[in-house]
Amino acid sequence: MDSRLTLEKRIEAEIMSYDGTMGIYLDDFHGNVISVHADETFETASAIKTYILACLFDEVEKGNKSLEDMIQYREEHVVDGSGVLGALEPGAMLRVKDAATFMIIVSDNIATNMIIDYLGMDTINRCIKALGFKDTVLYNPIHFDIYRRLGTSTPRDYAGFFTRLAKGELISPKADGKMLEIFKKQHYNSMITKDFPPFYMDCDNTDDILITVASKSGSMDACRNDGGLVFTPYGPYAIVMFHKEFSDAMYYPDHPATVFGARVSRMILDQFLALEGSFLR
């Protein structure tokens, strides 16, 4: 292969025909970083829930909040969209840690509104900035009939979140470990894993699962996002893919953002495995 065809150039060639803008940030934890449109602002959709979880754990770490507190699902939290709490009637009581887990693993919108109400918008945005995410903002609770925006961020900020989480340098090693376990249970990571070989991710085929993912995705009419950590036998790497400015607002499994994102993700996985834990020789 022509030595000039770096992974970054191959990614750029792959998305040349993509009808939209893809922001990418990759880190192999060995000093190799690849970024494309990494400092552009993108609507987060549910990816903002990642930062909300960190702010919750930060408040718990400081002694201001407790994961064992009970919070009530109230009428003002009701919203359509992803999650399971919509099957319940307002009035249900949940532990904070359970609502936070639903917020991430099934991207529950009602649980998210409960956590936003519990923490407060101002506290969340102060925390986001204090943690160093200068280009990330939570604008509103989730109410699609009232607000058009939820949050904005950049691929660089989002990747920075997960690289620090992997190192135990975000809140504290203990808090980061707990958050990491929640992200590993996240159900919606199809952009990252859609084209991964099933053999690597199914313990029925091997003695153990060879590849696991800790991530959080987000989708709205104006964006399709995914990002997190991919754990392999050669160590982890961080991957973020944010999308905007595409023409097709419909939701379906083979949306171009998902297809092109999955191609890029598989290209990155293959490179990382071939070089035994690095993006570059």
**CATH no. for residue 280?**
3.40.710.10
Domain presence at residue 115: yes
pLDDT the model gives residue 52: 98
Percentage, residues of the chain above pLDDT 90? 82
Distance (Å, rounded) from C-alpha 72 to C-alpha 69?
A: 10
3-state secondary structure 41-107: CEECHHHHHHHHHHHHHHHHHCCCCCCCCEEECCHHHCCCCCCCHHHCCCCCEEEHHHHHHHHHHCC
Residue 1 has pLDDT above 60, yes or no: no
Domain presence at residue 168: no
Percentage, residues of the chain above pLDDT 70? 97
Q: Same domain, yes or no, for 48 and 31?
A: no
Domain presence at residue 171: no
Give residue 139's domain range: 41-153
pTM greater than 0.75: yes
Checking DSSP bridges between strand 212-215 and strand 42-43, what pairing results, if any?
Answer: unpaired
Domain presence at residue 172: no
Instruction: Provide the CB-side half-sphere exposure for 6 (13 A, CA).
Output: 10
Residue where a domain terminates, one of 138, 153, 168 = 153
Contact in structure between 66 and 278 (CB atoms under 8 Å): no
Total domains present in the chain:
2
Q: What is the mean pLDDT of residues 76-91?
A: 90
Distance (Å, rounded) from C-alpha 225 to C-alpha 228?
A: 11
Alpha helices in the chain, H assignment, sequence order = 7-14, 48-61, 96-105, 109-119, 121-130, 155-167, 173-184, 190-193, 198-201, 256-274
Domain presence at residue 169: no
Q: What is the mean pLDDT of residues 155-163?
A: 98
pLDDT the model gives residue 205: 60
Q: What is the mean pLDDT of residues 88-97?
A: 95
Q: What is the mean pLDDT of residues 226-234?
A: 97
Q: Same domain, yes or no, for 21 and 106?
A: no
Q: Same domain, yes or no, for 17 and 50?
A: no
pLDDT the model gives residue 203: 62
Contact in structure between 72 and 149 (CB atoms under 8 Å): no
Residue 122 has pLDDT above 90, yes or no: yes
Q: Same domain, yes or no, for 25 and 71?
A: no
pLDDT the model gives residue 227: 98
How does pLDDT run across 19-42, given as a tens digit for each residue?
Answer: 999 999 999 999 999 999 999 999
Domain presence at residue 267: yes
pLDDT the model gives residue 81: 81
Q: Same domain, yes or no, for 87 and 100?
A: yes
Q: Same domain, yes or no, for 273 and 193?
A: yes
Domain presence at residue 125: yes
Q: Same domain, yes or no, for 267 and 212?
A: yes
pLDDT the model gives residue 207: 64
Q: Same domain, yes or no, for 101 and 23?
A: no
